[in-house]
C-alpha cells in the first residue's frame, strides 16, 4: 500500500464485500469501488443499491472534508452513529463514488470474500485491512504527521 498513489486511485472490485451489524447482513456487493491512497489500507465503497433498505439514516454527525474527494456525508447504521459515509457531490475525478457508501470496520463487521477485515487504527479512517494488504498504516499512534 505504500505504492498506492497520491492523489488516490479508484479501482473496481468484484470480490464479495459484506457488512454486518451484529448478525444482520446490511450490505453485500460484488460491484465495489476501492479507493487506494498512500499510507492507507483501501476504503471500500459499496453501491447504495446493495445496501438493505431502511438501514441508513442521515447522521447528525455533520460533514468532514477530504482534500481529494470533497465533503463527506455521514450515515447512522440503525443505532450506530456515523458508521458509514458517502460523497454526494465529490470533486472532479471522483464522480464514480456518487451513490456509493463506505462503512467503518471499527463499528461494523466487514468482510471480503468471507474473511473479516481489520479496522484501520485511529478510529477516524475507514480502511479495510485484508490479509493481502501490508502496512504500516496511517492512523496508529505517531503516524498523524506522515
- The whole-angstrom separation of Cα 39 and Cα 33 is 18
CATH number at residue 110: 2.170.150.40
66 close to 55: Cβ distance less than 8 angstroms: no
In a domain, 106, yes or no: yes
In a domain, 142, yes or no: no
Query: Average pLDDT in the 65-94 region?
Result: 94
Position 40 pLDDT exceeds 90: no
Kindly report the pTM of this predicted structure: 0.91
Q: Which residues pair with 140 in a beta bridge?
A: 138
Position 144 pLDDT exceeds 90: no
- How many domains does the chain contain in total? 1
* Residue 27, domain extent: 9-129
Residue 124: pLDDT band by 50, 70, 90 thresholds? low
Cell of 46: 459499496
In a domain, 53, yes or no: yes
In a domain, 139, yes or no: no
Q: How many CB atoms lie within 10 A of CB 75?
A: 23
- The whole-angstrom separation of Cα 46 and Cα 129 is 16
Return the closest-CA partner of residue 21 out of 134, 108, 143, 127. Answer: 108
In a domain, 40, yes or no: yes
In a domain, 32, yes or no: yes
Q: What percent of the chain has pLDDT over 90?
A: 68
Amino acid at each position: 500500500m505504500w505504492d498506492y498513489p497520491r492523489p488516490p486511485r479508484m479501482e473496481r472490485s468484484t470480490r464479495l464485500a459484506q457488512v454486518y451489524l451484529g448478525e444482520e447482513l446490511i450490505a453485500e456487493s460484488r460491484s465495489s469501488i476501492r479507493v487506494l491512497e498512500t499510507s492507507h489500507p483501501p476504503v471500500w465503497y459499496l453501491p447504495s443499491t446493495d445496501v438493505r433498505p431502511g438501514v441508513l439514516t442521515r447522521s447528525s454527525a455533520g460533514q468532514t472534508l477530504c482534500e481529494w474527494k470533497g465533503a463527506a456525508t455521514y450515515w447512522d447504521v440503525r443505532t450506530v452513529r456515523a458508521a458509514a459515509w458517502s460523497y454526494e457531490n465529490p470533486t472532479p475525478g471522483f464522480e464514480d463514488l456518487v451513490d456509493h457508501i463506505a462503512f467503518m470496520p471499527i463499528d461494523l463487521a466487514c468482510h471480503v470474500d468471507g474473511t473479516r477485515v481489520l479496522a484501520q487504527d485511529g478510529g477516524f479512517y475507514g480502511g479495510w485491512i485484508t490479509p493481502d494488504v501490508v502496512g504500516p498504516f496511517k492512523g496508529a499512534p505517531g503516524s498523524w504527521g506522515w
